[in-house]
Structures are given as C-alpha cells and as structure tokens.
Structure 1
Amino acid sequence: MELIWMIIVAIVIVYLIVSTALFLFPTIIHRNHGNKVGSLKISAHRGGAGEFIENTMPAFHHSVQLGVDMLEIDVQETKDSVVVISHDNDMYRSTGQKGLISETLFQDLPPYSNNLFLQFDRVQCTSSQSDFSFVKLDDLFECHKEIVIHIDTKDGKPSLVNRVSEIIVKHDRLKNTVWGNMSEVKNDLCYSVNPDITMFMSIRKVIFTYLMFYLGLIGFFPLKESVLDIPMPSAILKQFSDVLSGWQKMLVHIAHFLMMNRLLFWHLRRRGIKVVVFVLNKEESFSVAEKYNVDGIMTDFPSRLIKYHSDKKDSSGSDAGETSQILGRVQE
C-alpha cells in the first residue's frame, strides 16, 4: 500500500514539474506562431460600424485613414459566386429589402440603409455618405493592400471558403489576413483548404483552451490558431445592465473573472497567439481591457479608440501630435 502511494506521489510530482515547464516554456514541444500577422492593437469592427455604415467602402477608407491596425469583416457569396462583405446573408436588416445574398446576383444587390442599429452599443448609426454599395472582397483587398483584415467566413460553405482562399492568395495576403469561423467544423474546413492563412479560434476551441488552462493541461495541447477573439463580460454588463436580472449579472461577473485572465494571456503570447477583445465602444472599457494586457481591441468607434491611445500618450508626456493631426484631418 505504501508503495502505491509512493508511485502516486511520484506521478503527481512529475506531472506538476512537466505541466509547469510546458506552461512557462510551451515552445519546448509546440511551434511558436511568431509574427504571423502584424499588430492587431486597434481593430475596426465591420469597418467601423459606429462612424459610417458597416462594411461599406467609406467605412473602410475612414478607418484606414485613422490608422487602425485591422479591419474586421464577414463575407457572403452571391448567386453568381461573388464574395461580398456582409454580416448577414438575409438582406432585410442591412438594406430594408427582403431576400438572401446567396440567391441574388451581385449587380442586383440593393444598397445598404443609411441608418443601422449597433447591437454592441444599442444606438443607431446614421450616415450621409455617398456610397452605400455592397463591397467585393476583391475590391477591399485592392484598395487596402497592407492592412490586416480579419474575415469570418460566416455560413462556411466549401464554395465560399475556397473562393475566399483563392482571393487571399491572388492578392498575396497570406501574411496580413486572419480568417476562420465560430463553428469548429467550418474552422477545420478553412484550415484544410489553406493552412497557411492565420486563423482565429472557434467557440469550441475557445472553451477548450480555457478548460485546459484551468485543469493545468494547456501546455500539453497544440493550438493551430494564432488569434483568440473573446468578448469582455464586464463591458456587456455595463451596456446591458438594465435588461439583466440579478442572477444573470452574477453569471457575467463570474464569466469576467474566468475569461479575463492575465496568466492565460501571458502563456498564449509565449506561443505567439494574440488575444483580441470585442466589441468595446467606451473609454472605460478600453481602460479595463488594457489592464489585462490584451493584444488588441475591436471597436465600432475607431476614432474613440485612437483618441484614447492619443490621450494616454499625451498624459504620459509622449508626443501624440501625429495621431492628433490624423484625427483633425478626418474631422475636417
């Protein structure tokens, strides 16, 4: 009996030593994702949906002019196999007209409405921009060659995934594109079609990553993805506190405690995996996120996030002149 306990203790000690070593030095057995993509510090959600109508070219131009590091988009495929940028396949929310993008020819797509609801900020975005057209993925790549673009393949059908991969390769964007899907099955399809494109984690992989971390096993498992996209629960609580019940608020607090973990983020960074939080639209949320040393923030209001960083530099005595000049030109 004593021998059995000695064996158990020895196994536990070895496990703790190996687990700690792999947590601190994961590249002992795992490849480092390194700098597969550039900076993701400031990301414009749907192109900056709070300042111009989402996913339109004016929104993309505006955000790039501001100096964001990444544009976040979703893609759909038209009836004539054109890959367009849109969050929904159903056009009613974005255009006011009934119909599916997948059942409509590109030339017959209606324009976006000039007034859309922001689900993460619970306000309307109204714009007087001149161009409300749907944007081809091809055209976005052509206009903005260098910026990182984060693509959710949405319905994840093989035809769409293959077309997106072809367009990425055509524009030589393997090093400045992130793609994937919230579904693990569809994410695996993206990886099988083109493993050279940087991927973000599916919902299942996010849950798996947190589970392995809290079980002390994270260092044992390979992760093929290079970006972890997560919501920040405290921001959700701030925005929706008036419609949440007491127990729901308690669950959000628990979720925030579990999800916003500096130690996990540190380990992922050691593996070259970047952490991006979405979708934050208030300065207080920007400040909270930065305390957890995340690699990037996704926002509907890139001007606010740019200004937040500019003000921080200014208050620390750094030169924020260049950023201020950019904001000034845009406001003019």
Structure 2
Amino acid sequence: MMCDELESMSCAMDARSSMSHSGDQDASVANIFIMFFAAAIGGYVLSSFVLLRSPGILHRKKEHRFAARHISHRGGAGECTENTIDAYRRAVSAGTELLELDVHLTKDNQVVVIHDDNLLRLTGMNCLISELRYEELPVLKRELDVSFARGVVMEDSENRTIPRLKDVFEEFPDVPINVDIKVDNDVLIATTADLIAQFKREKLTVWGNTSSKVTEKCYSVNPSIGLLFSMRRVVQIVILFYCGLLPYFPIRETHLEIPMPHCFFHFMPNPSKKQRFIVALMDKLLMRRSLFEHLQKRGIPVYLWVLNDPIEWDRAFNELRVDGVMTDFPSKLATYLKQHNV
C-alpha cells in the first residue's frame, strides 16, 4: 500500500515537472518571437527614417528640368484677363518662371487655352467648346471674377481672344509651361503631345490632371514629358509617407503641385465648423515639410497653389520651403521675391 502511494506521488511530481518544462519552453518561444518582432519593427523604423532623409541610397535623383519659384496661375488672372496671350506676356515681363494654363479641344480639333468646358462664365455664351469650331469661339468677357481672390474682378479691354496652345508655344518658346488637360479626351491628349513634340518642349513642359485616368494616358502617350501627380497619387504618397513606406517606392511623376488647403476658404464666405475642421485636417496632413524635403531630394519640385497673399508666401517659402508658388498676381509676387531675397 505504501509503495503504491509513493509511486503515485512520484508520477504526479514527474507530470508537474514535465508541465513546468513545457511552460518554460512556451515562454522561451514567446520571448524569442517578441524579441524578433521588436528587432524587425526597430529595423524598419530606423531604415525608414534614414531613407526618408537620404533617398539617394535607393533612388537616383531625377534630372531638374527647370526651376520655378514664380508661377502664374492662368497667366495671372488677377492682373490680366485669364489665359490670354496678353496675360502671359505681362506675367513673363514680371519675371514669372512657369506659366500655368488649361486646355480643351474644339469641334475642329484645335487645342485651345481656356479653363471651363462651357463658355458661359467666361464669354456669356451657354455652349460647350467642343461644339464650336475655333473661328466660331467668342471673345472673353471684359469683366471676370478672380476665382481665388474673393471679391476681386478683373477688368480688361485688351485682346480677349481665346488663344490656341500652338500660339502660346510660338510666342514663348523658352518659357516653361504647365499644361492642365481639363477633360478625358484621347484626341486632346494626343494632339497636345504632338504640339509639345513639334515645338521640342518635352523638357520645358509638365502636364497632367487631377484625374488619375487622364494622367495615366498622358504618361503612356509620351513618358518623356514632365508629369504631375493626380489626386489619387497625392493621397497614395501621403499614406505611404505616414506609414514610413514612401522611401521604398519608386515615383515616376516629376512635379508635385498641390493646393495649400486654406486657399479653399476663398470659396467659403462663411465656412461652418465642419468645413473649418476639414480644411485644418487637410492642412495638417498635406503641409509637411519633411514630406516635401524627401520629394525634393528625389528631384521632385514642390509647388503650392493658388497663393495670393504675402502671409501665404511667407509660410510657403520660409516654413514649408517649397520650390515655388502659383499666384493670380505675378507683379506682386515678383516684388515680394525681390524684397525678401527668396
């Protein structure tokens, strides 16, 4: 009887010892896993930090096509009738380094420089550009509201003819031009690409659209022309930036051109709390100097639009250190740049 009890106690002790040994093994495996996971996370964070600051380790820096601190929005819509030859002449004489313009296609396949697809706001005629031949297009109104300067009306009695893109290329052969393809039209994209090639402007032109579909088509037609980020691509790089993954991804776009979110208040006379919150959130997420510096080190210049106030220019150049700003007032921006030695 005594022997049976001793044997039972021995078996129980062996079982407890086996369980304890098994528990120690499980704990050891868990500790190894935790250490491995911590090392992997630490290595990822460290490498992301290093590559964010030194992207040249992984990526060849893009060739600088041109420098542009001073960009004229629609040729300077606050000082001359928007998107006209006179506006571009005035902007260039003021010292602009990049002309921004918009293009559409007429019924007879002429690429014309104009912002809206419907002529009502700009000419008073309620008609689509695509429905008229070039010689049928009316002249622009004498008075036009400046979109990004609330309450400002541009009054101009000079030449208000809607120009063709080829007219602009002929007039300004050496001036860099930003072409905004306003609609998803294969003929418009192909014809614009042909004009850029005809005038040998691949290195002096950047084009695209907020639509990723349009931007993809632009790239496929001629990948040697400078390319803007679409809205979807901007969202992607912001997400990648905050995840620490941006340094690992190749970027084919050549220029980042985004709004400073506060410019949207020009369209909100009395913004609600919700609207103010959304704009503030966008500003917090988008206006990141470290993001801009990373892109600049990869050879991608950063431009902000549409800034018409010295306070905005101060923030853009001094706080965010962007490469250039787009404005409706070329002469005022030129004076600012000269006075502040930017």
* TM-score > 0.5, shorter chain as reference: yes
**1:176 lines up with 2:176 in the alignment:** no
Corresponding residue of 2:167: 139
**1:157 lines up with 2:185 in the alignment:** yes
Q: Which has the larger radius of gyration?
A: 2
Count of residues in correspondence between the two structures = 312
Question: Which residue identity does 2:61 align to in structure 1?
Answer: N
Q: Aligned in 2, Cα 1:241/1:163: closer, same or farther, shift over 3 Å?
A: closer
> Which is worse superposed, 117-126 or 215-224?
117-126
Q: 1:240: how far off?
A: 5.6
- For 1:155 and 1:68, the matched residues in 2 are separated by 26
Corresponding residue of 1:254: 281
- For 1:47 and 1:242, the matched residues in 2 are separated by 25
Name the Cα RMSD after superposition: 1.6
> Which is worse superposed, 164-173 or 12-21?
12-21
Corresponding residue of 1:6: 35
Question: Which residue identity does 2:283 align to in structure 1?
Answer: H
Is contact 2:102–2:181 with CA below 8 Å preserved after alignment? yes
Q: 1:7: how far off?
A: 2.2
Corresponding residue of 1:91: 119
Deviations 1:142-174 (A, max 9, x none): 000111100111103111111011000000101
- For 2:269 and 2:210, the matched residues in 1 are separated by 28
**1:196 lines up with 2:217 in the alignment:** no
Is contact 2:51–2:57 with CA below 8 Å preserved after alignment? yes
SS in 2 for 1:65: helix
SS in 1 for 2:210: coil
SS in 2 for 1:74: strand
Is contact 2:148–2:263 with CA below 8 Å preserved after alignment? no
Identity of aligned residues (%): 37
5+ long unaligned stretches in structure 2: 1-29
- For 1:304 and 1:4, the matched residues in 2 are separated by 61
Q: 1:251: how far off?
A: 2.6
5+ long unaligned stretches in structure 1: 317-332
Question: Which residue identity does 1:272 align to in structure 2?
Answer: G
Instruction: Give the TM-score normalised by structure 1.
Output: 0.90
Is contact 1:286–1:297 with CA below 8 Å preserved after alignment? yes
**1:17 lines up with 2:46 in the alignment:** yes
SS in 2 for 1:88: coil
- For 2:261 and 2:324, the matched residues in 1 are separated by 16
Instruction: Give the TM-score normalised by structure 2.
Output: 0.87
1:193-272 aligned within 5 A = 193-237=221-265, 239=266, 242-272=269-299
- For 2:264 and 2:158, the matched residues in 1 are separated by 33
Question: Which residue identity does 1:22 align to in structure 2?
Answer: L
Choose from 18, 29, 42 the match for 2:58: 29
